[in-house]
Structure 1
Amino acid sequence: MSFVEFMTKGDDSMNLPTVNQSKAKLVQQRIAESNYASEFYREIVEMIHTFEIELDSEHEIGVRLVSFGQAVQFHVDHLGYYNPSLIKFKGTLDNGSRVELIQHVNQISFLLMALPKQVKSQPAKRIGFKLLEEKIEKESYVEGSHETETV
């Protein structure tokens, strides 16, 4: 029996109330949406913004990923998601190679870190503030996908 069927059928033996089917579907949808990549994205944006506030002018945001016994760290310049379940990080390794990580929200695990800025003659990149502004603008609806890139 599905959640909607259970909630709309009622059960006299347990004295459970009968719920309108459309309300039950709405509750089920909200529960599902709370696990969308867009929700994880929002949390990650806030974490990045908070972390970047503490950085000095010589450092920028980076991440370290550990999987299969290997560690990879890179400078982050792009963050996105694809609902219902994928998060995407794009960035650059210290040697200049471009990297992109697309990972399921159930598998995501990373360490935010301060990395020396890559271009010494330019200001350190900050993506958290830009991501936070875009998050606030888009909070009125649930998006299917979203990507942000800094220059």
Structure 2
Amino acid sequence: MTDKPAPAVPPAFVPDWGVTPCPRPVVPAATPERTAAMMDGVRMRENPAEWAFVRLSKLIEDFEKGLDKDEEVGARIVGLPGDGAMSIEDVGFWGPDFIMFLGRNADGKPVRLIQHYGQINVMLDVRKRPEEREARRIGFQLSELVRKTNPE
């Protein structure tokens, strides 16, 4: 018998970060260029809420590329009252486990949805922009935050 401890093996739920910057999204209709754009500058994160936020921001940015100048991103989120619809103004996270959606409900009142990163179910949809302002594109703003916080 030996007193040597067995090598540490991470639990099955801990990913092997390896040298790959980010797993590729699997979107059957996506061109290689579109897939590369979604992955541009993204590095994996150890904080699960931050990692969910990083990928969510890229998916929002990709969705917004298909909108016209009078449309902006909205969402239908399971668990919200009524039809579960809100206009998304911002997305954030508080690691290790919360993702936050900030926006307005159908009545224009502020809403903040705080969800565990493992419980996110968001259907992005299209909203007509309010007449008094230009359409907002939050995906670019979120991607800038991702770029600024990328691990070295």
- Structure 1 partner of 2:75: 63
Q: Go from structure 1 to structure 2 and tell me whether the alpha carbon gap of 1:77 and 1:69 turns closer, same or farther (over 3 Å shift).
A: closer
Tell me how far apart the structure 2 counterparts of residues 56 and 69 of structure 1 sit (CA, whole Å): 28
Larger Rg: 1
Write out aligned runs for 1:120-131 (5 A).
120-131=131-142
TM-aligned CA distance change 1:54 to 1:38, over 3 Å:
same
Which amino acid letter does the alignment assign opposite residue 105 of structure 2?
Answer: L
AA paired with 2:115?
Answer: Q
TM-score under structure 2 length normalisation: 0.69
Deviations 1:110-149 (A, max 9, x none): 10011111x21321011000110110111127xxxxxxxx
Which residue identity is paired with 2:137? R
Letter in 2 for 1:9: P
Q: Which of the numbers 99, 121, 124 marks the counterpart of 1:87? A: 99
Deviation at 1:79, TM superposition (A): 0.7
Kept in 1: contact 2:47–2:95 (CA 8 A): no
Structure 2 counterpart of 1:45, which letter? S
Specify the SS of the correspondent of 1:81: strand
CA apart distance, 1:46: 0.3
Instruction: Identify the structure with the greater helix proportion.
Output: 1
Unaligned runs of 5+ in 1: 1-7, 11-18, 142-151
| Structure 2 CA distance for partners of 1:62 and 1:132, relative to 1, 3 Å | same
